[in-house]
């Protein structure tokens, strides 16, 4: 019996390396205990709760060495964090940019810096997509566009699809043509939301919306719905529709991503989604992606692709959209760099 224990196989290093960030968080959550874990859950959005809860089920069988690796990584990150002290402004700005991306961080900083006051618009971040859609569906498309432009891109995509179909393309048009929003528009928005907040005469114009924001929202919509909305937008404004398409990051654009960043993405996507998405991928892209993985992981993906047999085009497109959504989130968080449509680099 002792010999059997002594010769038990070591955990798979490839398996540890392929753990997604969400799965690592899930392992930490399972170590915390019910009370502490529930307190963390209270501060997550419904989508995040669902993703983290699902990940917790997927890591219930991990071995002790894997747990130790995740803990060591977590402690290394914590030790590297700066402490409270001089340079707090710069630290807060860098932290927000890494967590939210440049655009969202700028919007948040506009609201929380000492020269600005808290606004009722923040409550949107704590509402589910259906509640937001029901609240705003009777408003003018300009107001709807203003509200949707304030949301996280994934939530904004859900809200857009829950709105009446006959106005979805017009709302997207309004978002894409937004630039800076004057204080009067913010006040009107707050009136629509029926929220009480403290008056502030020093409100500054907020930079939201634009073609890139509209493109990112489209990146999070389902393929069939994206096609329908863009077709309707084509009738309304062909040039704008083309501009949005040019700024969208699609699955084929992963060919322009370097191996290091592609490897980061591969460690954060679901293997099942990848096996489906690659069935409809260009051969060069398929080889590039598989080449960024360990030989064992790549072989497993190829085997799963073959086992699935023929699949509907829509299923492949949806899997590709899910991977693009993960890539966008990693890019906004500063975890990886996307070189492709809608991204500017020097």
- Is the pTM value of this prediction over 0.75? no
CATH code of the domain containing 123: 1.10.220.30
Are residues 219 and 290 both part of a single domain?
A: no
Q: What range defines the domain where residue 158 resides?
A: 119-247
Residue 50 lies in a domain: yes
Are residues 73 and 175 both part of a single domain?
A: no
Residue 149 lies in a domain: yes
Residue 337 lies in a domain: no
Joined tokens for residue 100: 């939210």
Note the pLDDT tens digit of each residue in 20-70. Answer: 888 888 888 888 877 788 888 888 777 788 888 888 888 888 888 888 888
Number of domains making up the chain: 4
Are residues 195 and 241 both part of a single domain?
A: yes
Note the pLDDT tens digit of each residue in 209-253. Answer: 688 788 888 877 877 788 889 899 999 998 888 888 777 877 888
Q: Indicate the pLDDT class of residue 188, thresholds 50, 70 and 90.
A: low
Residue 284 lies in a domain: yes
Cβ atoms of 160 and 214 within 8 Å: the answer is no
């Amino acid at each position: 019996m002792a010999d059997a224990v002594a010769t038990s196989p070591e955990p798979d290093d490839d398996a540890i390396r392929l753990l997604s960030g969400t799965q690592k968080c899930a392992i930490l959550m399972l170590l915390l205990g019910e009370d502490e874990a529930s307190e963390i859950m209270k501060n997550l959005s419904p989508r995040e709760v669902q993703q983290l809860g699902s990940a917790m089920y997927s890591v219930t069988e991990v071995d002790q060495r894997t747990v130790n690796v995740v803990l060591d990584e977590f402690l290394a990150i914590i030790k590297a964090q700066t402490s409270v002290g001089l340079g707090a402004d710069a630290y807060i700005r860098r932290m927000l940019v890494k967590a939210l991306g440049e655009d969202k961080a700028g919007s948040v900083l506009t609201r929380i810096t000492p020269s600005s006051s808290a606004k009722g618009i923040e409550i949107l971040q704590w509402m589910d997509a259906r509640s937001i859609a029901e609240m705003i569906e009777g408003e003018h498309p300009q107001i709807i566009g203003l509200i949707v432009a304030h949301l996280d891109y994934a939530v904004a995509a859900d809200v857009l699809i829950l709105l009446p179909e006959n106005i979805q393309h017009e709302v997207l048009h309004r978002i894409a043509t937004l630039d800076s929003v004057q204080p009067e528009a913010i006040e009107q928005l707050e009136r629509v939301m029926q929220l009480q907040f403290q008056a502030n005469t020093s409100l500054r114009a907020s930079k939201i919306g634009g073609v890139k924001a509209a493109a990112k929202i489209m990146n999070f919509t389902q393929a069939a719905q994206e096609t329908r909305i863009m077709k309707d937008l084509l009738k309304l404004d062909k040039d704008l529709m083309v501009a949005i398409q040019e700024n969208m990051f699609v699955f084929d654009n992963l060919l322009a991503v370097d191996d290091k960043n592609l490897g980061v993405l591969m460690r954060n996507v679901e293997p099942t989604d990848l096996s489906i998405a690659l069935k409809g991928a260009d051969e060069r892209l398929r080889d590039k992606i598989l080449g960024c993985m360990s030989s064992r992981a790549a072989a497993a993906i190829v085997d799963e692709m073959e086992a699935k047999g023929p699949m509907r085009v829509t299923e492949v497109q949806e899997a590709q959209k899910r991977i693009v959504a993960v890539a966008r989130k990693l890019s906004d968080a500063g975890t990886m760099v996307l070189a492709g449509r809608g991204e500017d680099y020097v």
